[in-house]
Structure 1
Amino acid sequence: MAHGDITHIDIPVSDLGRGAEFYSALFGWQISEPPGFEGYPMWRAPNGISGGGLAPRDDGFTQPRSYVEVDSIDDTVAAAVAAGGHVAREKSPITATSWWAVIADPDGNHIGLFEGIAEV
């Protein structure tokens, strides 16, 4: 993946098991919980390239969220804020070599950011 590519899509579900069964049956996605990511089933599409995760639905996360790979979350957040957006979730580590954050555009749409090397 390269800067600007959509790398991951999180889908909020109220029941992780039911969500995994639904999407696996509907689209043929392979869904599993990799070691270190228990409670966060990740899906891989049949093309072997696209994927994402199923995450617990809550009041702040009710719609699927796409994640875009960036060279620097810090620089991208600064540019988003300068352009009229805001930070919806601060930068947080995923692994020792990767991070994520969420920005909102001026209309309130949430876009996830990914920086680093995915280890799963």
Structure 2
Amino acid sequence: MAHGDITHIDIPVTDLASATEFYSGLFGWQIAAPPGFEGYPMWRAPNQISGGGLAPRSEGFTQPRSYVEVDSIDDTLAKATELGGTVLMAKSEITDTSWWAVIADADGNAIGLYEGTTEV
């Protein structure tokens, strides 16, 4: 994927088992937690391209959130702030080779950022 591509969509849920049954039954999504990410089942659409996760709902995470792949989270956070956005969550490590962060645009829409690769 390239800088600016939507790469992942998280859906906030309160009951992982129920949400897994709902989305796999409704859309035919393959849903399973990858090793090392227990409690965070990942979904993949039948096109084998679209995907994301079923993440625990929390106070700051109540609506689905899209993640955009970027070349540099650090640069993107700086640019977002310069353009009137705010940083909701600073850069955090996913694996040794991948990171994420969350920004809000001027209207308060939360957008996730992703840099790196989770490929082994």
TM (norm. structure 2) is 0.98
Distance 1:96 1:59 in 2: 28
- Shift of residue 118 of structure 1? 2.3
Who is 1:96 aligned against? 96
RMSD (Å) for aligned C-alpha atoms = 0.9
Contact 1:103/1:111, CA 8 A, preserved across alignment? yes
- Shift of residue 33 of structure 1? 0.6
1:25 aligned onto 2:13: no
Distance 1:27 1:3 in 2: 28
- Secondary structure of 2:23's match? helix
Aligned residue runs from structure 1 range 1-120, under 5 A: 1-119=1-119
Deviations 1:56-105 (A, max 9, x none): 11111000000000000000000000000010011000111000000000
Q: Give identity over the alignment, percent.
A: 77
Distance 1:23 1:5 in 2: 24
Distance 1:32 1:67 in 2: 19
1:68 counterpart letter in structure 2:
V
The ranges of structure 1 where at least 4 consecutive aligned residues each deviate by more than 4 angstroms after the TM superposition are none
Q: Which runs of 5+ in 1 are unaligned?
A: none
Distance 1:82 1:58 in 2: 28
2:72 counterpart letter in structure 1:
S
1:26 counterpart letter in structure 2:
L
Distance 1:119 1:57 in 2: 26
How many residues are paired up? 120
- Shift of residue 40 of structure 1? 0.1
Distance 1:119 1:37 in 2: 14
1:28 counterpart letter in structure 2:
G
